[in-house]
């Protein structure tokens, strides 16, 4: 699956999970937050598309992937991202 299509699919999943997505420019990485009762995902549009997909994958993991219907091809890509994130977390815990 092309990364741009994956990004659109992940944005759609986050929106179905109740989040509003804002793409801004700045010196931040991006993440989820709640502002004045609204659930937001703020994404730095200057970051590479791959970084943007990781932010959205984290949000979907937080929402609970079992609460949303996720197309099999998208779920496969999400599982790859989550696996890389888990490995990264394990490395950080060891240091």
Cα–Cα distance for residue pair 36/90, rounded to 1 Å: 34
pLDDT tens-place string over residues 21-80:
999 999 998 999 999 999 999 999 999 999 999 999 999 999 999 999 999 999 999 999
> What is residue 91's predicted lDDT score, i.e. its pLDDT?
75
User: What domains does the chain contain, in order, with CATH numbers?
Assistant: 3-86 (3.30.2010)
- Residues in contact with 25: Cβ distance below 8 Å, sequence separation at least 6, in sequence order: 44, 45, 46
Q: Give pTM, 2 decimals.
A: 0.90
Q: In the prediction, which pLDDT does 88 show?
A: 80
Q: How far apart are CA 68 and CA 40, in angstroms?
A: 18
- Arithmetic mean of pLDDT, 2-16: 97
Q: Does the pLDDT value for residue 93 go beyond 80? A: no
In this structure, the number of other CB atoms found within 10 A of the CB of residue 16 comes to 14
**Comparing C-alpha atoms, which of 52, 51, 57 is closest to residue 74?**
57
């Amino acid at each position: 699956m092309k990364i741009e299509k994956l990004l659109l699919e992940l944005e759609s999943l986050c929106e179905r999970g109740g989040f509003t997505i804002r793409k801004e420019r700045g010196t931040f990485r991006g993440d989820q937050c709640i502002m004045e009762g609204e659930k937001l995902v703020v994404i730095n549009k200057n970051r590479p598309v791959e970084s943007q997909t990781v932010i959205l994958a984290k949000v979907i993991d937080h929402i609970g992937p079992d609460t949303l219907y996720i197309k099999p091809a998208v779920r496969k890509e999400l599982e790859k991202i989550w696996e890389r994130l888990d490995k990264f977390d394990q490395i950080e815990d060891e240091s």
